[in-house]
């Protein structure tokens, strides 16, 4: 079984400040990890994903995340927040399938609402 914990249901930053959204996962098998963004009244869009290889992954809109196996974390960062980054962000985990399991299902965290103040 897999689970995701997003620390902080609401994060508020000033425009130009660092964005840090925290995600910890639990998985008994090697995981694949994802960050999705949801703008108001829209569906979810993929920001970035980690599968294998380089543990620092870059996504769209200047976001990046680092997979840290020892800490079971996949935190999302952006050096400088922009007003357009205001949205809800979801971390998700799937089975990698490398141990024989199926990997087409995602388990989502509860989400973190990012507010950007002018």
Interface residues with another protein (CB under 8 A) are: 9, 32, 34, 36, 41-46, 49, 51-52, 90, 94, 96-97, 102-106, 108-111
Give the whole-angstrom CA distance, residue 48 versus residue 30: 18
For CA atoms 12, 89, 23, 58, the dihedral sign is: negative
Task: Considering the complex, state which of residue 15 and residue 96 has its C-beta at the smaller distance from another protein.
Answer: 96
CB of 88 to another protein, least distance (A): 10
Distance of CA 89 to the CA centre of its chain: 7
Closer residue to another protein in complex, CB, 5/15: 5
Q: How far is residue 114's CA from residue 61's CA, in Å, rounded to a whole number?
A: 15
In the bound state with another protein, the residue whose beta carbon lies nearer, of 24 and 51, is 51
């Amino acid at each position: 079984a897999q689970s995701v914990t997003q620390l902080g249901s609401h994060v508020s930053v000033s425009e130009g400040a660092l964005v840090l959204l925290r995600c910890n996962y639990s998985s008994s098998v090697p995981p694949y990890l994802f960050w999705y963004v949801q703008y108001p009244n829209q569906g979810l869009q993929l920001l970035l994903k980690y599968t294998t290889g380089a543990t620092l992954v870059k996504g769209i809109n200047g976001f990046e995340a680092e997979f840290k196996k020892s800490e079971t974390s996949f935190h999302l960062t952006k050096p400088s927040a922009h007003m357009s980054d205001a949205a809800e962000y979801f971390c998700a985990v799937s089975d990698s399938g490398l141990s024989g399991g199926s990997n087409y299902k995602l388990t989502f965290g509860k989400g973190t609402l990012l507010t950007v103040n002018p």
